[in-house]
Each structure stands twice: as structure tokens, then as C-alpha cells.
Structure 1
Amino acid sequence: MSQQRILWADDEIDLLKPHILFLTKKGYEVTPVLSGLDAIEKCEEEEFDIIFLDENMPGMTGLEALEQIKRIKPSIPVVMITKSEEEYIMEDAIGAKIADYLIKPINPKQILLSVKKLLDKQKLVDEKTNSAYQQDFQSIMMSFMNDMDWEDWVETYKKIVYWDLEINETENKSMSEVFEMQKNEANHNFCRFIKDNYADWMDEPDERPILSHELLAEKVFPFVKENDKPVFFILIDNLRYDQWKVIEPLVSDLFTVKEDVYCPILPTTTAYARNAIFSGLMPSEIEATYPEWWVNDNDDESKNNYEEELLGEQLLRHRINGKYSYNKIIRTSQGKQVNDQINSLMHKKFNAVVYNFVDMLSHARTDTNMVRELAPDEAAYRSITKSWFEHSSLYEMLRLLSEKDCKVYITTDHGTVRTRKPYKIVGDRETNTNLRYKQGKNLSYNKKNVLAIKHPEDFGLPKTEVSTSFVFAMEDYFFAYPNNYNYYVSYYKDTFQHGGISIDEMIIPFIELDRK
């Protein structure tokens, strides 16, 4: 690796020789100049890794030189050094995007610390991250050997997402392969946990996590009943926990954040899980109680046309009689219309808002090569989600709500998993098309790595035919038919899907926001 080069501009540079000698002994090449103008000329002629700039130089001040240096080399880090502690100088320097700010008298170790912070930060962070993950790796692997309950899995998954985000920030990503292996192991064990326990959860409400149909009654309605504040319940379709973590800092700037998670019902799809949220009922109960509002898998009609009506019925059952609103946001213009109505929504007791962007993104990534290139993996998928959020009407809505006296909840109906392994299944013409679960008669498949439900009614699922059964893909498998198998696999492999059993689909965020 070549020597890192430092340009140091100070009209009293001769007094700084001990500092320069100290940096030289540490392996840095230092070029001293006597003025801001000299510093600008050197920047035009040569390449430097960092610049130290005295603020109070005769002729051209450090701030004036800084402005021109940033035009020539906008990415180079500049450290402003000054005798003055005047606040306006510090503010001007920070506003001009300096990298650090030091006040004279300075000592060599201060300078070295600033250099390391700016030039070696990534290397030091990488080393610390990799070392810390290696220490945590063993404890995570040991946890898989225990008899883990839901809360244990939540804590383990949060650790896995944390390390996913941290390792992704490292430069060489040397631990990525090890992490990927560990996440796959976690997903495998979590799926076994769901397979072993989901049926029992249906019979033992007190022994299970909160499920989709219980979410509003358990987590939201108690506040609605006990307070006069308007409530905004915001559901972002298809939002994974790791996607929430990348937008969390933006939300935390606006609100005090309380984070929780819950578990969606099977199938982990909009048609089942989201209808369960808004109705407060399991799918079989929706079909029995409101047959005109339940749409089966193979019906052409949209599966979520009656969420507003189902929500209204649930509010009545819980004796919540105030005015409520429901808005589904698919286009930006719809989001802007809702934001224009915020003041009138403040007079309603309960406001539900569904944002469909993340779901649309996952479908677009499957169907459009360009989107797949933009989001080739989980890290890029998170990045696009964050970019959308920063420029979305949802972020603007949260900014508006942060200034008002209201309660806000953010959640989702299910997550998604990146599917990589095909799984052959055979069904008749009536079998549904979802890649992560199949509903139909006479389904033929290998029983390994799936959860088969022969009696859907025991799991709160509608039974369209006497012999109807459900089969759920686990881990990162997706169902493929033997006909046109190779085409089918190449088209859907490495896409983000939902409907089955995986840690990314089934541990999902529920966020409570309060005004700061």
C-alpha cells in the first residue's frame, strides 16, 4: 500500500515541524505550504488523502481556501485548525462540509487521531466488526442447540439482522460467507420450530406469539379505547425487519420509537395475513361470517377489496364507535391526497393507511430485469427501500404527524424471503399459483422440507373442497412444476417471495411511535 499523503497549510508551518516529523515517523507523507492559495495550487497539481487547513492565514483565509478546494476536490477530507473558539467560525466550517475541527494549541496525538479517524476509520471498523462477529458467532450457533421458544427466536433473529447490516458496511466483506452460512442454519432451525409448534398455537392462544388476527385487538385497540388522541395505523405491505432497520434512523429523528415484532399467520400473504389483521378473524372465520367479502385463491377478483369493511366490523365488535378512515396508497398522487387531508383525519378516532410500494418492488424485481439488476441481493433491496422511503409521501406524512398530538403505529402483514432452491410439486388445474404455498386437491410432492396441512379448518383456513390441503415451502425453497421446469426455475430463482415459512417472512416489525 502506498504512503498516505497529507497537505498541511499554515502560515506558521515552521512551528509545526515537530508535528510533521511525528506524522512522517508514523508512515505518512506530509507536504507543507504557507498559504491558502498555495494549498489550492497543490490540490490542482497533486493528489492528497487529507488536508489540514489553518483558518487564520493572511491574504486568503482558511474558510475561503476551503470553498475553492471543495470545488476542485469535493471528496477530499479537510480538517480545519483554528485559534478561535468563535461559534460562527465553527458553524461556517461545518456548513462547508469539513471532516474535522481542531482548536490550537494542538498536540501530535490529536493530529494522528484525526488522521486515523478519517483515513483508517473503515479499516479499523472492519477489524472491530469482524472480531466482534466472530465472538458472537459461537453464542448464536450454541443457541440453536437449545429448546428455543418464540422470544428466543426473536432475540436471535435481531442479532442476525444486526450482523447482516454491520458486515454489509465493511469494505472487503470477508465475513459474508460465514454469516450467510449461519443465517441459513438459523432459517433451517426456525422453520423446524414453526413446523413443530404452529399446530399447537392454534389450540393454545396463551402459549403463542401475537398472530395477525390478534394484532389490532392486542396492540392497538387498548390505546384507542383509553385515549382521545387520534390513532394512525400505517401498514407497509411486505416490509421485512431488516428493511425497517434501515429506515428506523429516519423515523427516530421524528418520533420516540418503541420496537416490537409479531408473527403473521400462514399463508404469509396479503390475501390471508392482511385480511386477518383488518378483520380480527382467521381466514375461515372471514369466509363463514362475511362470505361476500372473502375471495378464494383462484378467483380473479382482488383479494383485498374489502379491508375497509372488515375493519369497520372489527371496530364495532370492540365497541370503538368513533369515526374511522381507511386509505390504500399505490401511487404517489394518492399519498399526497392523504397528506393534504391530515388535519381532517385528526378528527377521526382511527386512521388506517396501507402502503403498497415494497410489495410492488418485490413483484417488479421478479418481472423486470432492470429492477433485478438494481436489487441483486438483500443489501441492495434494503437500499432501494430506504431510497423510496426518503422520497415518499409516507415520510412526509410522518413529518406532518410528528408535529401533531396523535399516536402512530407502523407495521406490515408479512416479510419476504429470497428464494434459491426449487421444489417439485404436482397439482391439478385448480391449484393456486403462489410459489411459497400451494392449495389444492391431490397435491403430489416430497414430504421433506415442507409443512403439509391436511385439515385446513384446524389451522383457521378455508376449505374449498373436501380434499383440499395446503403445502408450505420452508427455508428458501420455491415450488416449481415439472412442466417447463428449467424455464420456471431460471425465472423465479433468486427472487423475493412470500407465502411460506422462513425467519424473514415470519418475524416482522410492529412499531409504536410517540411525539417527541
Structure 2
Amino acid sequence: MDIDLIQSYIAFKSPSPRPLLVLIDRSQILPIDGILNILDRNFLIVPYENDLQIRDVLEKYKDNMQDKRFCIVTSKENDENLCIADYIARSNLIEITPQNLLEFSQNGFNWLDNVNQLQGADFWDNIDRLKKFRESISGRISSAECNSIILSALLNFDLLKPLLPTSAIELQRKIDRDERIAELRKKYPKLIEFLEQKVHEAIPLMAKIGTDEELTKFIWLAYSLSQHTENYEILLPRILGDDIWQKYGEIPQDRAKEICEQLIESDSDRALEQIKLVEEWLGQDEEKMRLFKGWLGVSSGNIAKAVEYSVKERCFCVPLKDSLRTIARAMVSSSVSMAVTPQMKDEILKNITKRHLFLQDDTGYMRIKDTFDEFFLLCEFLNLASEIKKKEWWNSRNRLDNIDLWIQDIYPKYISKLEFLRDRIETLNFKCELLLPALMQKLIDEVRQILANLNESFTDLIQKHYPLWVTEIEKPRPVLTVDFISKVFLPLYNRYIKNDDQSAYIIIFDGMRWDEWDFLKPSILQTFHGKLAMEDVIPMLSILPSTTEWARNAIFAGKFPRDFHSTDESELLESALNSYQVAKVQISGEFPGQRDNMMRFLEEKAQIKAVVFSLIDIKIHSTMQNLVTLYEEVQVNFNNTIQPYLQKIPSNSLVFILSDHGFVELAGKGIIAPDRSQADPHRRYIGLRSFTTPDNINSADFVFFSSENIHMPSDEGILKYGFAKQGKFITSLREQESGRIVRYAHGGISMQEMIIPCAVFVPRNEGQLTMF
């Protein structure tokens, strides 16, 4: 109750009040006891409850009217106030209603006496909402508008706007079941009658949608067809049949559109179920579906019609899936790819990634979301492939001698993405068959050709420059894995580790190639979000052989394999750091296999901690799955076993997440190793005790270096090493005869094996935060 408002209104109506006031309060919105202060004068409130009570109260005032100020508050009608008629004649008589108070406090807005039916708390609890809803209508209001304002305030629901059918249905449920509305019905029966009438006007047709399957079929088919074609009413009778058409054919197109769009907006789950019902019904009759698709033009292979339909269709799935197939196959078929312009693709992608109703469906219906995803990835793939072939380096021989171009641009930005996109498209195509097998193979072959072309050039570069980098005849050289300690770790360690309570973490994911880093990156960023910022991703080059045995030990040792003899990685790292006079070096927990060990490792006081996770390398050597399945399995393991450890890393830490090598997909039959000592299954390099190449090894399939030139050990009589190119590999006769197949390996020369990432995370307030 707003006492100030009441007092201000009384002062406004009676600027020179007599000692006695009579306040007519039929809505019972005034206080019934206490004091009212009018123009700095206090008036005792005297409620008029009944004749006997009022006589007793007023008896003591009748002879002393000048010394007492009081106000009589009565809610009775005029003919019931006879008992106080004498006092009324000697008083200021003021009628106070909700309408009076609203108009007084909301200057410029008129009200009707409809609002006076509000009683007591129903008025005061809703006065602010009454004012707010009244302000939405300028000028004078009608009786219906006034009732709508009152109900809007009472129900806290805007009834001034057109009432959507689905909202009307929900209101009807409340009218039938809600105790609050049942109470309001007793107090304000006319208001609730008005509400019921408003609801009934909004739902007669909508109420039948979903309960009347024939109407549901008519409404959704009419809505879909009207989006794409004129004169659709010619087709509807042929699809629906005469009975349904005669019942509902006179429903205006605008009304059908309004119902569908309102249902989509307010009850999308219900809309989805109805669309499924209609499509399933169509699918049971081939002739009906043929007519439907044919009228839309999506069954004829007409690219223009398929594009037009795919841009506009927000509801139906079966014809849209056919349209997307037509377009996808046209884009992959070079003979007609120009028929689908970039602008067309953009418009289609807007629809299937943002607007289509079934983006909200989680039931897997028609695999439509997989189809959307594959189409999106296919567009991304084709754009990327086209962009690659437009790059200057694609046809330039200069790329051979520019290693920075390879490790900073060609592989991480283009080729690693292309190969993974290929496998994502292939995985989805098994589910939704967007592309025919021959076209899928065409896409696979295109990637294979691009990889072969570029890997041949990359191999030529390694063959020419790698020995010069190793022997430091050619400077500067790219950051090799042996340079990690000196060129990457130490400069950043000296920059960010300033206190004894800080630690630097070296975290190696064995076998993580660049596209897998891109796959895990969002999870890692999310893990460190708010704690650590990603400062940089430094491209490095694995040494040869690109295997765990040599490449990882070279990281910790900071030396080439010829120059270290221990295989204890803790010892190698400590020795390397001591050689640079790094103080307070304490290494622990390189291979924490158990959860308890890992937690102790994280809690130990050590300024430098190193840990190796081998799950990726283990998967590589045991799977026949494509990259998508492989990486998804790694992601599950990462989430379950590795992420909880990374979350424990303090926010003042310096973290390096890097790889020791990548891997490549194998091709063809393996080459039998010349001796048993090198007959490891699916090996990508070989050591020879003679400068003569064995007869069964084709020199064109390998790059050979002397042990000395690449600083590999020769203590077992190894004079030169051969590193496989493309997808070639070494195996044993026994392994070959066993029929065991492995899809991936490493140790040779390729972009995928040698170009690897090193991500650097620093305290959040000191680095550039990379968002995820």
C-alpha cells in the first residue's frame, strides 16, 4: 500500500481540509487504522464497519469537533451511509478509487472504471505492472484494452499483444487447472469471462492441430509448398485426397502460414513431431512423395531448383536431403561445379547451420543433422582445396628451399586441415550418403594426389637441407626437436619463472601430429581457461628418424642421437638443463602411470616437471580406423585420464604441450627388411651396414644419409640410414605373411611425421589469452 500516494491524492482533492474527512473506498484500498498526514495535519482513521460500531466511535467526537481531526473510511454505497449523513454534511467528502489513484499518479494516461473492480492487495500488488502495461498504449483506451491491461498485470502475461494460439492453449490449461485463476474467478468473474473469450478466439483452429492428423497434413504441406511455389493449391488435392481438401481447402494461405510460424516460435518440439508425422505419411506412398518432390523440382537433378529449395526450406527434411545431395554431387563433379556459386553455397549454409527447424532435434531423425554437417564440411573442403591450388607455392619451385613456408604455412594452415576434413566427410558419408561412392573416392584421390605432390617436394627439401642443418653448415636452421631446450624452453623459462613457488611443465604427447593438436586444442584451452593463456604455437621439425626412441630422447637431451647414450629421459633432461646452468632443477614423474603417482607428481615442489602421455602413439600402432575415429577415441581418453591432471596445474605456471613426432598413413605392401635386427613391423626407416643398397630396396622409395651427416650412432656398424618416402614402410617376411595390417606408422620423411606443434601457455595476466 502506497500511503504517500493516498495522502497526496487527498491533499490534491481537499487543499483546505476540515477537521473531519469522509473517504469513500468501495474498492477497499485504504488503510483501516492508524494516521493519515494531510498537509502536515494528522487525521485519525475511523473505519465504518457497522452502524453500532460507528456510533460508539463518533459519540466521543460529536461535541468536540474542533479539537479532533479524524477521517471516516467507508466502503458502503450511498444509501447505506445514512448513519453518518450528518458527518458527511460537515466534512470534506472524497471518493478514492483505483482509477483516481492511477490517473493522479500517471499523469496523461486515462483509465476506465473497469479497474475499480480490483480490491485491496490485488490493486496495490499490481499497481506498477498496471502502469507499465498502460504505458504501452498511447491515447485513450477501450473497455477491452482496459480489461487486457488488468489481466496482464494480474497474470504477469502480456495480453495486449495478439495472442498466439499456442499461448492461448497454455492459458486455457491454466484457466482449467490453476488455483490462482480459480480464486480470481470468484472475485472478478467478468474479467475471467473476458479472458476465456479472448482465449477461445485465438485457438479454435490451432487446438485441432496435432489432434486432427488430416488438418496437420494440410497445414504443414500448404505451408511448405507456399514457400517455394505459386498455385500450390493445384497440387494439394492430388496429394491429400479430395476428402481432406474439401474439409480444409478453404483455409487461407496466410492463416496456415501464421499457425505454422507461431507453432515453430512457441512450441518447436510439437512442430517437429508434426512435421515427422507428415513426412512419414508421405513416405508410405511413393506416388505422393514423387508428386511432392516433383512439384518442388528437387527430384529432377535441377541444380537451380535444388539450390532455391535448400536456401528456403526450414521444416521438411526428406526433399531437403535430396536437394543437398544433388548440390553436393554437382560440386564434387568438376564438369558442373561452376553451377553452384559461392553466394549460393553461403545462402544454403546459413539455412542449414542457423535457420532450419531440425537443428533443434536430437532424435537423429533422417540423419538430417549429419547431412547438414557433411554438406558444411564438404563446402569447407572444396574451398580449402581450391585455395591451395591458387597459392603461389602450389606451382612454385621456390617452396623447395623455404622450410619456414612449410612449417608455418603450407602444412599447419592448409594440408593438415585438408586431410582431416577428408576423413570427417568420409565418416559422415557412411551415415547419410551425401556423395555417391565414386564421388567420395574422387575426393579421397584428390587429397592423396595433393599430399603426394607436396610430400615429394618436402622430401626433396629435407634431402637437400637436413644434413646441413644437423651439422650447422647452414644457419639459421628451423627449430628442430633437439633445439627445444635451448631455443624454446629456456628463453621462456627465464622470462616467466620468477619465483621458487612457480613451476614449468614439459608435457609431451607422444605421436601427436598437427591435426590432432587442432582437434584437442579446444579441450585444452577450456581446461586452462581463466588460469593460463596460450602465448604461442611454435612449429618444430622432428629429427630423423621421426620415432619415439630417437625423437623424444633428443627433446630431453637437447642433442642428436650420436651425442647421448643414456635412455633415461629424466637423466637426459637434467643433464641438458644443468649444462645451461639452470638453478634449482628437480625432475620428477616422467611416466606417472597411476593416478596417485600423478597427483603426487603435480604436488611435488619442483621448478621443472616433465611428463609423457603415450596414449596417441599406442593408438597409432594398433588401429585401422580413420583419423576421425582415432582422434575421437583419444579425446575420450584425454577427457577421462589427462584433463583432470591438467586442471591441477597452478595458474602461475609455464606449460609446454608438444609432440615428438607425427605419423603417416601407409600405402601398398611393406618392403622386407634386409636383416632380422631391423624387421620391426611397419618401420619407416632402416640402418645399413654397407653403403650399397640391398637389391629389394628401391632407392626411389627412400632418402639415404650417412650416419655421420645426420649425427646418428654408428657403433653397431651402421654406415647409412634410409628413410621411407610417401607411404612406404619396412616389415618382416613373417609379419607380411601373417596378414596383419596396420594403417599408420612413423620414422620416415613426410610433412605429417616431421612438422609438429609446441604450444606455450603462460600465466593468464602475462600472455595473450586465446579464446575457445
After TM superposition, the score normalised by the length of structure 1 is 0.70
**Post-superposition shift, 1:157?**
0.9
Number of aligned residue pairs: 418
How many angstroms apart in 1 are the aligned matches of 2:545 and 2:614? 18
CA distance in 1, matches of 2:578, 2:353: 67
Aligned to 1:259: 537
The answer to which structure has the higher helix fraction is 2
Select which of 443, 452, 472 maps to 2:704: 452
Aligned match of 1:26: 227
1:264/1:414 contact within 8 Å kept: yes
Report the counterpart of residue 104 of structure 1 in structure 2: none
Q: Is the 8 A contact 1:243 1:386 kept in 2?
A: no
Superimposed CA distance per residue, residues 183-238 of structure 1 (whole angstroms, 9 cap, x where no aligned partner) = 23222221222112212212335232111211111101122234323101101111
CA contact (8 A) 1:231 1:349 kept: yes
- State whether structure 2 residue 366 is matched by structure 1 residue 115: no
Alpha-carbon separation, structure 2, partners of 1:160 and 1:447 = 27
Asked if 1:389 is matched to 2:638, the reply is yes
Distance 2:275 2:376 in 1: 32
> How far off its partner does 1:269 sit?
1.3
Cα distance between partner residues in 2 of 1:123 and 1:467: 50
Rounded to whole Å, the distance in 2 between the matches of 1:430 and 1:441 is 12
Is the 1:282–1:460 contact (alpha carbons within 8 Å) kept by the matching residues of 2? yes
CA offsets per residue over residues 321-345 of structure 1, 9 Å max, x none? Answer: 21422323464xx245323542x33
Determine the structure 1 residue equivalent to 2:675. Answer: 428
Map residues 243-254 of structure 1 onto 2, 5 A cutoff.
Answer: 243-253=516-526, 254=528
Q: Structure 1 residue 143: deviation in Å?
A: 2.0
Which of 549, 558, 562 aligns to 1:271? It is: 549
Question: Where does 1:352-367 land on structure 2 (aligned, <5 Å)?
Answer: 352-365=610-623
Deviation string, structure 1 residues 129-164 (Cα, Å, up to 9, x no partner) = 254134314225852533211121121112112233
Query: Residues of 1 paired with 2:576 and 2:353: CA distance?
Result: 63
**Structure 1 partner of 2:418:** 163
Q: Indicate which of 391, 398, 403 corresponds to 1:147.
A: 398
Of the three residues 665, 674, 682, the one matched with 1:418 is 665
Shift of 1:388: 1.6
User: What amino acid is aligned across from residue 579 of structure 2 in structure 1?
Assistant: R
What letter corresponds to residue 569 of structure 2 in structure 1?
A: E
- Could you say which residue in structure 2 is the equivalent of 1:474? 725
2:34 alignment counterpart: none
Q: For the Cα contact (< 8 Å) 1:268–1:498, is it kept in 2?
A: yes
Instruction: Tell whether 2:686 aligns with 1:438.
Output: yes
The Cα shift of 1:398 comes to: 1.8
Task: Work out whether residues 511 and 660 of structure 2, in 8 Å CA contact, stay in contact via their aligned partners in 1.
Answer: yes
Residue 752 of structure 2 corresponds to residue 504 of structure 1? yes
Map of 2:582 onto structure 1: 320
Q: 1:407 aligns with which of 654, 657, 678?
A: 654
* Alignment check: 8 A CA contact 2:272 2:358 kept: no
Give the CA deviation at 1:39: 7.2
1:189 and 2:457 matched: yes
Greater fraction of residues in strand: 1
CA offsets per residue over residues 32-71 of structure 1, 9 Å max, x none?
Answer: 589999976994995478xxxxxxxxxxxxxxxxxxxxxx
Aligned residue in 1 for 2:627: 378
Cα displacement string for residues 7-44 of structure 1 (whole angstroms, at most 9, x for unaligned residues): x9554566999999665422599895899999769949
Tell me how far 1:314 sits from its aligned partner.
0.9
From 359, 368, 376, give the equivalent of 1:125.
Answer: 376
Q: Percent identity?
A: 18
CA, structure 1 residues 46+272, in 2 after alignment: closer, same or farther (shift >3 Å)? closer
Measured in 1, the distance between the counterparts of 2:716 and 2:268 equals: 84
TM superposition shift of 1:353: 0.8
- Whether the 8 Å CA contact 1:330–1:356 is kept in 2: the answer is no
State the Cα deviation string for residues 270-323 of structure 1 (Å, max 9, x = none): 221111111111111113xxxxx2xxxxxxxxxx4x111111111110111214
1:417 Cα deviation from its structure 2 partner:
1.3
Residue from 581, 586, 597 that aligns with 1:337: 597
1:268–1:151 distance in 2 versus 1, CA, 3 Å: same
Q: Contact conserved, 2:586 with 2:606, CA < 8 A, in 1?
A: yes
Which secondary structure state, in structure 2, belongs to the residue aligned with residue 459 of structure 1? Answer: coil
Aligned equivalents of 2:424, 2:673: Cα separation in 1: 43
Larger radius of gyration: 2
Query: What does residue 463 of structure 1 align with?
Result: 714
Please, which runs of 5 or more residues in structure 2 have no aligned partner? Answer: 1-164, 169-201, 210-217, 230-235, 237-255, 280-313, 316-349, 360-367, 429-433, 765-772
Picking from 555, 572, 576, the partner of 1:310 is 572
More moved, 183-192 vs 125-134: 125-134
Partner of 1:349: 607
Letter in 2 for 1:232: Y
**1:232 and 2:492 correspond:** no
Q: Note if contact 1:224-1:350 (Cα within 8 Å) is conserved in structure 2.
A: no
> What TM-score results when the alignment is normalised by the length of structure 2?
0.48
Measured on the aligned residues, the alpha-carbon RMSD in Å equals 3.9
CA distance in 2 between counterparts of 1:112 and 1:24 reads 22
Contact 1:259/1:512, CA 8 A, preserved across alignment: yes
Q: Does the 8 Å contact 1:328/1:354 carry over to 2?
A: yes
Aligned-partner SS, 1:178: helix
